[in-house]
């Protein structure tokens, strides 16, 4: 096999451990120098391939690449940019081929979620449809945990851990003060249309009266009467009530709770955030003093409380992608396979991109309790091992020390400018 260079790009919303996948790709490629030349990373994801802004990862030291394992965010830059089908986006695919050809790129590693899997699939077809030989491997990543075929999406375990830990901690704060102060605390979490992250908060609960007392899932239409009844019953019994709400929570008709009609002084639609909407609703209906939190990016960047399991899996899928490429594979994605052992264990599996692309894995209804406000034992069994182990970054002067890369640009070989 003639030695070719590889292209690696990060795509879509970043996670606390996407850089661990980058480290996996780069380290495995370095161990396979007979097959893979250099790994060029796209600056700001696939956009870097289109604009020929490539980063030469061979200029990075071993320790810098190692530091990626505990550095949140996307070290090479990510983007939200979706290539359409080969026909509609023909000029862009042609451009990719020009850039790949100019830099002798034969391997395409794309680190992203469902949309990116689709792009990766299309790149994998360039060989057949446009005559450019390339192997495209998708490296799974998303905090939303909605990728199919893999037991879990790397990135999810860490946000899940942050959410469960934060919920348990904040609940102790609320419990302390509820006699004379805040009685209802609303904590908003990410997850888009899937309730995986919200469900993970449920792990904070050990005993019946523990927080979270209610979880609002996007999968369950919001029933205001049932909700208020349970909030009131909880405050009356426990003294306070902790509510976790998914950003995607919605009414029966599909309207997001976050869009519930608040306007600011300028007449703009409300400032965003479903937590304040819920909190205000409880106050109006039941009169309880409330507080709310929207941790937003803090949750998916919270590498300081990363899940060791998640970090190891993110790293492993990066390595596996390279091993798949070296083995001559194309249009596949490494997956996490849960083994049927009593103690949690996992191995790397493989899924064809044709089946992965654009398919969302919904949270099973059996993971949500009958009343719609909690998680079931089977959800707990699925979720618990994913937050296992604490992967702490190194600290200096009280602050985490994250990777500092050189991000050395690869000299451009094409003369034209490509607008994206």
Cis peptide before 287 (omega within 30 of 0): no
Q: Binders of a copy of itself among 122-151, rule CB under 8 A?
A: none
- Is residue 243 close enough to count as binding a copy of itself by CB under 8 A? no
Tokens of 106: 């034969």
Answer for which of 29, 164, 184, 241 binds a copy of itself (CB under 8 A) is 164
- Of 6, 35, 9, 2, the C-alpha closest to 100 is 6
Residue matched to tokens 């530091």: 67
Nearer to a copy of itself, 63 or 87 (CB): 63
Q: How far apart are CA 248 and CA 272, in angstroms?
A: 12
Is residue 194 within 8 A of residue 145, CB to CB? The reply is yes
- Is residue 158 close enough to count as binding a copy of itself by CB under 8 A? no
Answer for which of 296, 323, 337, 350 binds a copy of itself (CB under 8 A) is 296
Q: Please tell me whether 144 is known to bind a ligand.
A: yes
Pairing type for strands 332-338 and 346-352 reads antiparallel
Q: Please tell me whether 190 is known to bind a ligand.
A: yes
What is the phi/psi pair of residue 153, to 5°?
-95, 120
Q: Please tell me whether 192 is known to bind a ligand.
A: yes
Query: What separation in angstroms does the CA of 158 have from each of 68, 142, 145, 213?
Result: 15, 11, 11, 22
Give the rounded distance of the alpha carbon of 378 from its chain centre.
22
Q: Please tell me whether 313 is known to bind a ligand.
A: no
Q: How far apart are CA 218 and CA 312, in angstroms?
A: 29
What track of x and - describes contact with a copy of itself for positions 57 through 76 (by CB under 8 A)? --------------xxxxx-
Q: Binders of a copy of itself among 14-43, rule CB under 8 A?
A: 14, 16
The catalytic residue among 56, 118, 144, 146 is: 144
- Is residue 346 close enough to count as binding a copy of itself by CB under 8 A? no
Answer for which of 170, 333, 368, 375 binds a copy of itself (CB under 8 A) is 170
Q: Please tell me whether 299 is known to bind a ligand.
A: yes
Helix (H) or strand (E) holding 43: none
Answer for which of 24, 77, 372, 374 binds a copy of itself (CB under 8 A) is 77
Annotation says 144 is catalytic: yes
Answer for which of 31, 173, 223, 337 binds a copy of itself (CB under 8 A) is 173
- Is residue 395 close enough to count as binding a copy of itself by CB under 8 A? yes
Q: Is 41 helix (H, G, I), strand (E, B) or coil?
A: strand
Q: How far is the CB of 27 from a copy of itself (least distance, A)?
A: 21
What track of x and - describes contact with a copy of itself for positions 246 through 285 (by CB under 8 A)? --------------xxxxxxx-x-xxxx--xx-xx---x-
Of 23-31, 181-189, 313-321, 354-362, which segment contacts a copy of itself by CB under 8 A? Answer: 181-189
Is residue 314 within 8 A of residue 71, CB to CB? The reply is no
Q: Is 200 helix (H, G, I), strand (E, B) or coil?
A: helix
Give 289-318 as a DSSP string.
Answer: -EEEEE-THHHHT-GGGEEHHHHHHHHHHH
Q: Please tell me whether 240 is known to bind a ligand.
A: no
Q: How far is the CB of 220 from a copy of itself (least distance, A)?
A: 23
Annotated binding-site members for substrate = 142-144, 190-192, 247, 297-300
The residues that are catalytic are: 144
């Amino acid at each position: 096999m003639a030695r070719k260079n590889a292209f690696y790009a990060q795509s879509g919303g970043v996670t606390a451990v996407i850089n661990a996948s980058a480290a996996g790709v780069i380290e495995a490629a370095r161990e396979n120098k007979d097959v893979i030349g250099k790994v060029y990373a796209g600056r700001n994801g696939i956009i870097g391939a289109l604009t020929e802004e490539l980063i030469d990862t061979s200029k990075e030291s071993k320790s810098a690449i190692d530091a990626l394992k505990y550095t949140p965010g996307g070290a090479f830059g990510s983007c939200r940019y979706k290539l359409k089908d080969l026909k509609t986006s023909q000029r862009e695919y042609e451009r990719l081929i020009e850039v790949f050809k100019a830099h002798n790129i034969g391997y395409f590693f794309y680190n992203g979620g469902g949309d990116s899997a689709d792009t990766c699939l299309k790149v994998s077809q360039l060989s057949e449809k446009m005559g450019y030989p390339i192997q495209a491997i998708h490296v799974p990543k998303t905090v939303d945990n909605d990728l199919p075929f893999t037991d879990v999406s790397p990135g999810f375990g860490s946000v899940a851990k942050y959410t469960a830990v934060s919920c348990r901690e904040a609940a102790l704060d609320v419990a302390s003060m509820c006699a004379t102060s805040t009685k209802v605390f609303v904590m908003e979490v990410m997850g888009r249309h899937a309730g995986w992250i919200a469900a993970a908060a449920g792990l904070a609960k050990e005993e019946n009266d523990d927080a979270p007392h209610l979880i609002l899932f996007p999968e369950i239409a919001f029933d205001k009467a049932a909700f208020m009844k349970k909030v009131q019953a909880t405050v009356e019994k426990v003294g306070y009530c902790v509510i976790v709400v998914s950003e995607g929570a919605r009414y029966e008709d599909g309207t997001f709770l976050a869009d519930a009609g608040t306007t600011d002084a300028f007449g703009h639609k409300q400032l965003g955030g479903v937590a304040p909407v819920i909190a205000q609703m409880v106050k109006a209906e039941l009169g309880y003093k409330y507080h709310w939190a929207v941790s937003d990016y803090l949750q998916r960047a919270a590498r300081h409380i990363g899940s060791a399991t998640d970090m190891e899996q993110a790293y492993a899928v990066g390595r596996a992608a390279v091993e798949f490429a070296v083995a001559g594979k194309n249009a596949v994605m490494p997956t996490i396979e849960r083994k049927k052992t009593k103690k949690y264990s996992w191995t790397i599996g493989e899924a064809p991109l044709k089946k992965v692309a654009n398919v969302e894995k919904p949270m099973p209804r059996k993971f949500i309790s009958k009343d719609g406000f909690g998680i079931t034992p089977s959800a707990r069994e699925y979720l618990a091992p994913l937050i296992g182990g604490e992967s702490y970054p190194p600290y200096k002067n009280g602050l985490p020390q994250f990777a500092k890369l050189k991000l050395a640009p690869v000299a451009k070989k094409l003369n034209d400018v490509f607008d994206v």
